[in-house]
Every structure is written in C-alpha cells, then in structure tokens.
Structure 1
Amino acid sequence: MPEPSATRGSSVIEVTALERRYGDVHAVRGLTFSLHRGITGLLGPNGAGKSSTLQMLAGTLAPTHGSVRIAGISLADNANAAKRHIGFLPEQPPLYREQTVDEYLRFCIELRQVPRADRTAALHEAKDVTGLSGVGHRVIGNLSKGYQQRLGIAQAIAHKPAVIILDEPTVGLDPNQIREVRALLVTLGERYCVLLSTHILAEVQAVCARVLVLHQGKIVLDQGTTYLAQHAGSAHRIRTKQAMPEAILEKVRHMPGVHECDQRETELLVRHNGNDETLAALVDALAPYGLRELTPGQTDLEELFVSLTMHSPEQIADEHAEDTA
C-alpha cells in the first residue's frame, strides 16, 4: 500500500476561520477544525456549504477569508507544495474512457510529478490497494461503474498524499459495489486522513470515526462515534392527545438521562439513556396529557441529523452549551 506522508496523531488538515461568500450569500461561515488520520464524514443538507468547503480544502476554490494548511503547508502561500499532499475524487470521477486503466494511471502519476524511478511501483501499489491488478489492460469505458469508482480512488492515492477527499464515492453503485467500496474506504482510513462527503447516512455510520455536520455554513456537530452511539441508542416515540406546553417540554429536556426531546404536533421523539427509571419518569410527566402511544425504537444518525438541521446554528449552539453546562 502507498505510504502516506503524515503520521498518526499529527494534524493533516488545519482549517482556521474559513469563509466563502458569493456576493451577498454567505455560504461558509467561519469553519475551524483539524483532521487527523482516519475517516471523517462531512454531512449537511443541500445548501449547507459542503461543496464549497471541499473545493476550498482541495485548493480549487479560493476562500474569502481564513486559512487551510495541508500537512503543515499553507494552501494560500504555497499551493503547489500543499496540493502534492492532496488526493481528490469529485462526485464524477475524472476518467478518460478511451484509455486503459494502466494508461490512465500512468498519466495521473506523471501529472502528480512522481519521480520517474518510482512511477512503476506507484502504479502497481495503487492498483493493488484498490483491487485493479487484474484489469490494467482493460479500456475504462468498458469497466463497470464499481470498477470505474475504484479507478477514481486509485488516481487519488497513487502519488501517496497525506489526505484523500472523496465526494459521494458510492453514488450510482449497486449494493454489492457499495459494500466493496466501503470496505476499501475502511482500509484507506487505517493509513490516510480521509474526508468523506456523502448524503448516505448509513455510510457514515459504517465507515467513519468522526462526523462533521454543516448547516447554513456552520459546523453544528463535530463528534466521534462514541457520541453518536450515546445519542443514537435509545428512543421512544410518544403520541399524546394534545401538544405539550413548552414548560413541560423544558422539564422533559432537563430530566436526568434525557438527551433530546423534539415535538412535532402531538408526537414527541425522546432520546434517552435507556434506563427504566428514565422511561418511568417520562410517563409520569406526560400522562396528564393523554398518552395514546409509547413506541420503543432505535434512533440512528438520520434522526440526529434531522434534529440538528431543523434549527438555526445559533439555536443548536445554545442547546449544546446547556447540555455541557
């Protein structure tokens, strides 16, 4: 496998106060974060600023304000040097369908200015990692969608970058191909800093160690899998005859063991620690309002995502501050 140019524990990507405006539209608003080796998922609804963020990190879009450092190198001050440490796969893989797999990878390796003496080894290593060793002679246009996606990933890692940025890498694949690509992503995450932008929430749950959620250009969640497991563990859907007064909702939200409580008309979704004592306290608090249904279930990242993007980033920040107070 190609050896990446960053070590575990070091910050591979450092983003500080990153902003992007398009006229009066403030698409990205003051992002600050750092990424290390492993897979981080980048999520957000349409218009959240994901594409602009990816483009700024890849060096294809200039920020209005702020800075990006790749492997310690300023992307603004030394773009060529910084970009040598970036592997990028856009949503549509940049393939030349009339070339063979080997021809295409040799072309990409030359573009990345890999030393001539190392090019053959880089070609074979990239194919080995992505499962393309047996198709080097095949014309790209004759490959399946799954193999074309593998080839897109191969060109992103062939020059041994520190970071790999992947935009929707499993879109358009069948279930078997999705499983194969996800297994490949897990392998890459053991050696690289991987930033994965996707709309597929199950994909984040399957392969990511950390999740960044963007909403209206701001980060509204930056947590690891431990947090997600806690907040996506136990839940009850509760239907009542009448909507809860805000005072009662606040009481429920501040109960010991309750993580979140969202109301939609006469339905509540309460995420909690799963203890019987917590459930009993919930029933006691809500019984006067006519319980009609109490349905246990497992919440998932989709529910958490919806709850995070229903409100403004400022409201979400206030709620998180209360939770940690």
Structure 2
Amino acid sequence: GPNGAGKTTTMRMLTGYLPPSSGEARVAGFDIFNDSLEVRKRVGYLPETVPVYPDMTVYAYIQFWAELRGLRRPRQRVNEVIEQVGLSDRRKSLIRNLSKGMRQRLGLAQAIVHNPDVVILDEPTIGIDPQQVIEVRDSVRRLGQNHTVLFSTHILSEAEQVCDRVLILHQGRIVAEGAPANLRAQLQPTPRLYLVIGGMEPADALALLHGIGGVESAESQGEGFSVRVRAGLDIRADIAARIVQSGAQMLELRPVAMTLEDIFLDIVGRPNP
C-alpha cells in the first residue's frame, strides 16, 4: 500500500511495540495482547529505521542481540547469521563505517539471530541503491525458505517480485489479498489497449475512439493512446477497421499487461499529488 496506508502501524502492533486500541490478532498462534511475551519470543523485527550502535562492531552488535534474546554461547549462531546476510568480511568493522545497505543487512541479522518463527520487515529497501535493493530482496527470498516473512513496501512491483502472497492496504483496511498472479486474474480491471495512430490529429483520434462501441474511455499516452474496453469484449478488429476507414494508419495495437500497481490504482483511485 501507499505511504499512510497503515503498514507500519500494523507491524508495530503485531510485534508488541504498539498496543492495539481494539480488535484481535494472533502471531504464531498467540494473541498479541494477552500473550505479548510469547509473541515477542517468536518474532524477529526489522523496523524502517535500523536500531544500531555506531561504535559497535558488526560481530559485537549481533552478539549483543543474541544475548538479549537469551541465546547461550551464541558464537556459532552469530557467525551463521553474519554469513547468511553477507557481512562476513565486515564482522570487525564499526557500524558507523557501514553503508545504508549494509546496515539494513545488519538489521536483518539481528532480526533472525534467535531463529524466529516469523520475521517482520518494515520497508527494508528504502533509501538504498539499486544493487543493495537486489541484495536485500535476495536475502528476503532466502529467509522465506525457512521462516514466515511479513514484508511491507509501498512499491507494489517489489511485492510482486518478492512475495508469495500479497495484501493491499488502503486507509487501514485490506482491499485485496492473494497470490500475485491470482490477484491479477481476480481483480483485473477493464481490459486496456495501447495504440499508435498515424496521419490523424490527437483530438480527432480521441473522438473516433470514443465513438467505437465497447470503448469505455480513451486518453493520450506518450505517442499513442490508452483505451479501456468493456470487460469480455475483444474489439481490436473493430478499432483497426475504423481507423483505416477514416484514412489514418494503424501503426500499433496491443493489449496492456496489468501490474499489481495498476490494479491497486484502479481499486482505490490515484492518490493526490
């Protein structure tokens, strides 16, 4: 969901950092209000801003969190998670000298050092460069092989790449949920076509398109036009025929594949700038 949808608030409640004002939720089988301590034992949490101590080394920081989590003789586990997040060559580095992407990976290490059942990550790719984004996403995919991972993002294409199941939030409510492919199939809005017309003024082309049966809307887009078609209809041949009959040229005509972001914007409307 977009900024302000309720993602961080939900995660803070699920991790025990924010008491809910009403309602009920369970994590790993435990009620977040009545069994808060049990929930915290079974959850690893990476907030949007990684809680770090700049004067600690990478190793000391993870060891510190391991001890806070009650691990006895945690040396082996500390080394395992440092390697797992790709910081083996920086184990002796001071945190103050790490890049934002490395700090995100360090935060990921503290979230999983106690081998939790559930790992909750609040927008872990914000503010890092494209290469680091790829590395964090790869880490999340690997985590998903052995843990339940709840991953928030306002970038829906990212959810599509990383997640097996997606929940779309808007104004604190779930407006859609399911596997990415299923969401596209179930929530596909009215079909869209993209076409490029030669030899006709844009205003005349729009007037022609609006006059074709089955066209719900048409608007200029780049060098061509985006056309919404009534669900269940295939009017590509009609569109091409009308354009050719008008004396113009049909230079391009193709269906537009819908992304989760397109579907989300179709459900809730475009946010105000």
Give the alignment's TM-score, normalised by structure 1.
Answer: 0.67
Partner of 1:299: 258
Greater relative contact order (Cα 8 A, min sep 6): structure 1 or 2?
Answer: 1
Give yes or no for contact 1:45–1:309 (8 Å, CA) kept in 2. Answer: no
Change (3 A) 1:94 1:235: same
Distance of 1:292 and 1:82 partners within structure 2: 64
Q: CA deviation at 1:278?
A: 2.1
Query: Letter of the aligned partner of 2:158 in structure 1?
Result: E
Distance of 1:54 and 1:148 partners within structure 2: 20
For the residue of structure 1 that corresponds to 2:17, the secondary structure is coil
Partner of 2:207: 241
Between structure 1 and structure 2, the one with the greater Rg is 2
Distance of 1:137 and 1:180 partners within structure 2: 21
Structure 2: 5+ residue stretches without partners:
196-204
Change (3 A) 1:83 1:237: same
Distance of 2:75 and 2:161 partners within structure 1: 34
Runs of 4+, deviation exceeding 6 Å:
261-267, 290-294
Query: Letter of the aligned partner of 1:278 in structure 2?
Result: D
Partner of 1:270: 228
Q: CA deviation at 1:192?
A: 1.1
Give the alignment's TM-score, normalised by structure 2.
Answer: 0.78
Distance of 1:141 and 1:262 partners within structure 2: 54
Is 1:80 matched with 2:74?
A: no
Give yes or no for contact 1:88–1:164 (8 Å, CA) kept in 2. Answer: yes
Change (3 A) 1:227 1:135: same
Partner of 1:172: 127
Is 1:213 matched with 2:172?
A: no
Q: Figure out how many residues of one structure are paired with residues of the other and give that number.
A: 250
Q: CA deviation at 1:235?
A: 3.6
Give yes or no for contact 1:97–1:141 (8 Å, CA) kept in 2. Answer: yes
Q: CA deviation at 1:272?
A: 9.2
Distance of 2:229 and 2:260 partners within structure 1: 12
Q: CA deviation at 1:58?
A: 1.4
For the residue of structure 2 that corresponds to 1:195, the secondary structure is strand
Distance of 1:64 and 1:122 partners within structure 2: 37
Query: Letter of the aligned partner of 1:62 in structure 2?
Result: P
Change (3 A) 1:54 1:282: farther
For the residue of structure 2 that corresponds to 1:219, the secondary structure is strand
Q: Alignment RMSD, CA only?
A: 3.4
Distance of 1:154 and 1:76 partners within structure 2: 26
Partner of 2:180: 225
Change (3 A) 1:282 1:121: farther
Change (3 A) 1:49 1:226: same
Distance of 2:219 and 2:2 partners within structure 1: 20
